[in-house]
Structure 1
Amino acid sequence: MKAAERHTSMTAEKLNGDMKRRPSYPGELRAKHANMSTKIWVKVAMAIAYFLCVSVAAFILVIYYVFFWTPDKPGNGTSTEAPNRTECAPRLG
């Protein structure tokens, strides 16, 4: 019984190994793990690029609306167009 306990504890030590030691993989698995880490950085870079593009577009709109846009003043009497009024039709029934 003690031999079985010793065997399982030694196997657990072997599996866990030294925490400071990096795991060694066969060639195919090593390439797979390397690709995973590069995929993560590509995703992070794409997210940052998207955020910057959206932020730059928002900043341009802020500059336009603060410095260049002049809203139409209602009721100044110079407009020849009919006022934009939306009325609901009465319910039938």
Structure 2
Amino acid sequence: MKAAGRQVTSTAEKLNGDMKRRPSYPGELRAKHANMSTKIWVKVAMAIAYFFCVSVAAFILVIYYVFFWTPDPSSNSTSTGGPNRTVCAPSLG
């Protein structure tokens, strides 16, 4: 049963107010654009963080190899008199 004095309107009129007007959703569009700009900034921030981490690791390695690393003289292969040659067994045939 319907309550007295209550008008029943169509859902299109209730949502849009007028049948001729285009529906507008400013809240949804604003949220969509906010999500898109947030995604872009997250991607840019991740790329910068990745570049920074790789660069810092490379810089630390450069500092280590320039100032602290000394090559082991016993493993120096250039002073042995030439390349390492292996003699193979002759083929039978």
Question: Scaled by the length of structure 1, what TM-score is found?
Answer: 0.52
CA RMSD of aligned residues (A): 3.2
| Per-residue deviation, 1:89 | 6.0
Aligned to 2:41: 41
Identity of aligned residues (%): 80
User: Cα distance 1:86–1:32, how it changes in 2: closer, same or farther (>3 A)?
Assistant: farther
User: Cα distance 1:69–1:28, how it changes in 2: closer, same or farther (>3 A)?
Assistant: same
**Any unmatched runs of 5+ in structure 2?**
1-23
Question: Scaled by the length of structure 2, what TM-score is found?
Answer: 0.52
- Cα-to-partner distance string for 1:8-42 (whole Å, 9 max, x where unaligned): xxxxxxxxxxxxxxxx8522122011110011011
Aligned to 2:68: 68
Report the residue type matching 1:47 in the other structure. Answer: A
Say how many residue pairs are matched: 62
Aligned to 1:58: 58
**Any unmatched runs of 5+ in structure 1?**
1-23, 77-84
| Per-residue deviation, 1:62 | 0.1
